[in-house]
Amino acid sequence: MGLLRGANDSSFTGFILLGFSGHPQLQQVLFAAVLTLYLLTILGNTAIILVARLEPRLHTPMYFFLSHLSFLDLCFTSSVIPQLLVNLGTSTQAITYGGCVVQLYVSLALGSTECVLLAVMSYDRYVAVCRPLHYTALMPPRLCTALASMAWLCGAATTLVQSTLTLQLPFCGHRQVDHFFCEVPVLIQLACVDTTFNEAELFGASVIFLVLPVSSILVSYGHIARAVWRVKSASGRQKAVGTCSSHLAVVIIFYGTIIFMYLQPARSRSNEQGKFVSLFYTVVTPTLNPLIYTLRNKEAKAALKKVLVRVRDLILPDCKCFSVIL
């Protein structure tokens, strides 16, 4: 009953996702770009998950968390992109109320989980660089599982609160969502009542899931920078920097875009800017993550090469596939 209240009408059937309809000249270009990036996201993140599971040398905390990150990106993009492709490729812009609810709950849960997981990964990098001799003892499998589970539970908890509060708002028949998917800030704008409480709650949750993780990441990398500065050998410094640079690049890209969307009042936000910013962290960032982690990591590239050769020999033993690539 609570979810139907947000519709404010028993005959309410869904929303109209305006998306990028204000830029008809970009529709076909965006469709091709989004489809390409989505396919690359599926390919890249699936490859990381398989390599991390199949290669014994990568059975480490770093790749355990990276597998979770890749799985998150796969699920997150799949909760948003198919509907976006339908809207870009056809004249249909409608989404059912149930579809919007699912999209809202799932995307927010996965996005919040990723915020926490990236902070956990920064702690893992801190231990690896600053306490290398005690790394195995400080990051046992049981603790890694507990930290990953905590990230998932935090994501589930925040979406239960934020999404439910948002869907309790009366929309008074307002159906046009000036966005390409159902997201809390844009749905709050549809409400026909005072949303001060919802905006305050959203801001508080954003502080918890954005400011606090970023602060912990900065602290971790502050300690890492100090430890790297103390390393005398150039090769030692290069190895330490290589260990952390990939994760830091992902952090900057992910948090830089998502903070813009969530850490400002919903009604003062530019919808046009918000669409393209959201497009970046829902489509571009999940595509870049596997590239950043593999192209900047010799260990991951070597493991990927080994797995590809193993697959080639298993399926096509006489084929010289991958020879040029590898």
Using 50, 70 and 90 to split pLDDT, how confident is the model at 265?
low
User: How many residues does the structure list for the chain?
Assistant: 326
The pLDDT of residue 232: 67
Phi and psi, residue 214, nearest 5°: -65, -40
Token representation of residue 88 = 């870009």
Sequence-distant (≥ 6) Cβ neighbours of residue 199 within 8 angstroms = 188, 265, 266, 267
How many Å apart are CA 58 and CA 24, to the nearest integer?
A: 46
pLDDT of residue 325: 47
- Has residue 33 got a pLDDT over 80? yes
Phi then psi dihedrals of residue 31, to 5 deg: -60, -50
CB 251 within 8 A of CB 122: yes
Instruction: Provide the terminal-to-terminal Cα distance of the chain, rounded to the nearest Å.
Output: 57
Angstrom distance (rounded) from CA 248 to CA 290: 13
Domain 2-315 class in CATH:
mainly alpha
Tell me the pLDDT of the chain averaged across its residues: 82
Does residue 1 register a pLDDT over 70?
no
Ordered DSSP codes for 128-180: HHHSGGGHHHHS-HHHHHHHHHHHHHHHHHHHHHHHHHHHTS--TT--EESSS
Highest mean pLDDT among 108-122, 257-271, 274-288: 108-122
Residue-level pLDDT at 24? 78
Give the model's pLDDT for residue 82: 92
- 3-class state of residue 325 by DSSP: coil
Q: Count CB neighbours of 221 within 10 A.
A: 19
Answer with the residue of higher pLDDT: 272 or 68: 68
Instruction: Give the model's confidence band at 297: pLDDT under 50 very low, under 70 low, under 90 confident, else very high.
Output: low
**DSSP-assigned beta bridge partners for residue 233:** none
Mean local confidence (pLDDT), 280-308: 76
Q: pLDDT for 131-143, tens place per residue?
A: 888 999 999 999 9
Name 176's Cβ contacts closer than 8 Å, sequence gap at least 6: 15, 16, 18
Confidence band for 279, pLDDT divided at 50, 70 and 90: confident
What are the tens digits of pLDDT across the range 178-193? Answer: 888 998 888 988 888 9
Sign of the torsion formed by the C-alpha atoms of 10, 12, 14 and 15: negative
Question: What is the model's pLDDT at position 324?
Answer: 45
CA distances (Å), origin 310, targets 24, 47, 163, 313, 321 = 46, 13, 45, 5, 11
Q: Which amino acid is at 300?
A: A
**CB-CB contact of 95 with 17 (8 Å):** yes
Indicate whether 65 pLDDT > 90. Answer: yes
Give me the percent of the chain exceeding a pLDDT of 90.
32
pTM for the predicted model, two decimal places:
0.84
Residue 191 phi, psi dihedral angles, 5° rounding: -65, 145
Domain boundaries, the chain: 2-315
Average pLDDT for 80-109: 90
Q: Which of 182, 179, 15, 170 is nearest to 104 (CA)?
A: 182
